[in-house]
Structure 1
């Protein structure tokens, strides 16, 4: 039986918006360990499913897919989003301008 991990996609650090964040991703867990290639020395394996990453709009949709395909899943809970409210004047606290 194959194993998979379901997690909620985080916001990209390359942009300020939250587009695409909040969707749920399903990734297969590796079925065999990676081993070094004798020619190049790169790590790899014959398991091509670990290259697959599927996106779903909801956690229920991801779980339904896993159930239909007989996958054992581990759901990683989403991290709480911490909002730090800060004013521009806070950048200058503790600076003596006299």
Structure 2
């Protein structure tokens, strides 16, 4: 139970506090929304720049109207007996703007076998500068290209072209260059030549 002295002290404190007039909630709410320093200033006219697209905004794939399907597939003017897999494959849209290269690997200059030249290979072109940086750990070149180390092997050139067309990829074919070996004989090194002799110096 509180003592009479504490009760009187609390009563004096309440009487000494300044009186505040309680304003209606609606008045306080509208008053807080008023902008400072805008009284008498005319409103700005609408500008045409508001209708221009903002190219710096992050694209929302859920609500964006962009589609990786080419116009020829949309309007049905492309003469192909199948629908390109890019329409329903769910692959990233970034792949539709990449170009693939179809080629046949050449035999290495060493004495290794020529097994690499028995099949055709398809890989993606390397992205331009900006997707590479120097790794601070070892100083090696790092890359943000997810398709840089991806390659596909096919038995023939026609299979690779058919796969690229079915996926909807833009492609170009690099025809292989066959090796031309001239017939040589070791005895030709000792034939007579009227020209100046070749002196082979080893030291």
Q: TM-score range by the shorter chain?
A: 0.7 to 0.9
Task: Give the Cα separation in 2 of the matches to 1:69 and 1:91.
Answer: 56
Q: Which one of the candidate residues 117, 120, 124 is aligned to 1:24? A: 120
Asked if 2 retains the 8 angstrom alpha-carbon contact of 1:23 and 1:55, the reply is yes
Residues 6-52 of structure 1: per-residue CA shift (max 9 Å, x gap): 11111233336433324211111124532223444322222121101
Structure 1 alignment gaps of length 5 or more: none
Q: 1:89 to 1:16 in 2, by over 3 A?
A: farther
Bigger helix share: 2
Asked if 2 retains the 8 angstrom alpha-carbon contact of 1:23 and 1:56, the reply is yes
Task: Give the Cα separation in 2 of the matches to 1:30 and 1:12.
Answer: 22
- TM-score by length of structure 1 reads 0.75
Q: Which one of the candidate residues 60, 66, 89 is aligned to 2:164? A: 66
- Greater relative contact order (Cα < 8 A, sep 6+): 1
Asked if 2 retains the 8 angstrom alpha-carbon contact of 1:10 and 1:22, the reply is no
Bigger strand share: 1
- The total of aligned residue pairs comes to 96
Asked if 2 retains the 8 angstrom alpha-carbon contact of 1:2 and 1:70, the reply is no
For residues 11-90 of structure 1, the aligned pairs below 5 Å read: 11-15=107-111, 17-31=113-127, 33=129, 34-90=132-188
Larger Rg: 2
Superposed CA RMSD in Å reads 2.5
